[in-house]
Amino acid sequence: MSEDFLKAGPLQLIGVGVLGLAVPLVFPGLRPQFAALLKAGAKLALEAEFDADDALAERLVDVAVKALLNVSAHDSEKDICHRSEATVNRFVAAASASAARRGWDQRDVAQRYHKRLVKLDHAISRTHPRARVPQRTALEHASKLLRKHHVVAERRLAEAPRAKLAHAGAKPDQAQSPRTGIHA
């Protein structure tokens, strides 16, 4: 049923939208139920979007960890480090592009990017104890590289509200604290 609705033409979607606006006006007694229905629909849509974002982040992390674990005992330490660096660089590029595509504004993009870096760091920490020696080398090198990106991501996250304020012409002392929501 939902697939059929999504395949509907623009006129059918406009008709549903007009009907959605007209029902509360024609039947005022249905306004509370209609409002509850809209609220539930919005909650479901947001929940689905967050679940999709988490699934995407998990997939990116899984691919990166598998690539880091795909080393041979015959590889030199230099080769292992080059491979892990290439893997981290691919992950960072994919995480940055994914965050930029799905983010609503600069701050949201920075938060999504940081979230992906944290997920990879956590996955590396979980995988490290059960890894073989060459795999540990790759994971340790990746972790070192990731720490550099963590600093950049945290700096981006801290600067995002300032950049937003600079564009809006607001003064920094009127800003809201990003973590607490308390006005300074």
The verdict on residue 11 lying in a domain is: no
119 within a domain of the structure (yes/no) = yes
Domain of residue 89: give its range. 52-174
The model's pTM: 0.63
pLDDT, tens only, 90-142: 999 999 999 998 888 899 899 999 999 999 999 999 999 999 999 999 999 99
In a domain, 45, yes or no: no
Higher pLDDT, 119 or 175: 119
Average pLDDT, the chain: 78
Residues in the chain: 184
**Phi and psi dihedrals of 73, rounded to 5?**
-70, -20
107 and 162 Cβ atoms separated by less than 8 Å: no
Any domain includes 40: no
pLDDT for 66 beyond 80: yes
In a domain, 170, yes or no: yes
